[in-house]
């Protein structure tokens, strides 16, 4: 049960948080093992674990905050930038370009 709202987290959120927690635990274990053995950490594996963790964080954000990823195709860079504005809380919102 979520103490802040008094409601249970959604199954999707619980699963996404579990995957993120597992990925971060794996990353931590790799670093601790390298430290204990006084050896160099396996950089490629750690980078992979970190990339996995960032992907899991995106999944948690999408479920928890209802975020969606939008791919804009067919516009040049100079036309995309005017269509993006920063909203409250640092969130990006799309503002349609005039004439589109």
Evaluate if pTM is beyond 0.85: no
Say if residue 56 is in the same domain as residue 91: no
Expressed as residue numbers, the domain containing 11 is 1-67
Name the domain count of the chain: 2
Average pLDDT over residues 68-89: 55
Say if residue 48 is in the same domain as residue 12: yes
- What is the predicted pLDDT for the residue at 42? 86
* Contact (CB, 8 A) for 72 and 80: yes
- What is the predicted pLDDT for the residue at 20? 92
Q: What is the pLDDT of residues 25-77, one digit of tens each?
A: 999 999 999 999 988 888 898 999 999 999 999 888 888 888 777 766 655 55
Say if residue 31 is in the same domain as residue 75: no
């Amino acid at each position: 049960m979520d103490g802040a709202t008094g409601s249970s987290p959604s199954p999707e959120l619980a699963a996404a948080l579990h995957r993120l927690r597992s990925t971060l635990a794996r990353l931590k274990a790799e670093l601790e093992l390298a430290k204990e053995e006084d050896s160099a950490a396996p950089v490629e594996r750690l980078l992979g674990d970190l990339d996995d963790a960032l992907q899991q964080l995106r999944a948690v954000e999408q479920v928890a905050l209802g975020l969606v990823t939008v791919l804009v195709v067919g516009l040049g860079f100079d036309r995309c930038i005017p269509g993006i504005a920063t909203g409250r809380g640092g969130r990006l919102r799309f503002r349609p370009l005039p004439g589109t």
